[in-house]
Amino acid sequence: MRWLIICLLLGCGSVPISPENELLSDFMSITNVRRQPIQNPAGNIVGVIILADVVNTGPVPIISPFIMTWKLRTADSEEIARATHRFSRFDAGQVQRIALTIEFAPRSSLSGVQNVVTFYFEESNQ
């Protein structure tokens, strides 16, 4: 039902849209996530390489530039580090492979580290 309302408000089909940030997050999906630790010579983890597929699951293209912010945080929500990736256009059903390198202070393990991903249109500056 929600997709029907969105289609009625924004128009479905081949007409590109620039939905609000809330709808942008609804349209985007992340799959095939892999985290590869980066270790220093002492054996501590000092970063990760994130590999993932980002998919536009929405019914129409997204034409306005937008930013994906990938944060790593502890179980008590303390942010460890972040990285961003900019998308300029994303067709309906399109899959884009991303690779992010996120560096942080040395840690003995990634146990309890959580991924938090947000999407915002570039002009919203959030």
In sequence order, the 6+-apart residues with CB closer than 8 A to the CB of 44 are: 106, 107, 108
Residues 75-96: tens digit of each pLDDT? 899 999 999 999 998 999 999 9
Residues 95-115: tens digit of each pLDDT? 999 999 999 999 999 999 999
Look up the pTM and report it: 0.79
d(CA 44, CA 40) in angstroms, rounded, equals: 6
d(CA 115, CA 35) in angstroms, rounded, equals: 10
Residues 11-48: tens digit of each pLDDT? 454 444 454 667 788 889 999 999 999 999 999 999 99
> Domain spanning 16-124 has what CATH number?
2.60.40.10
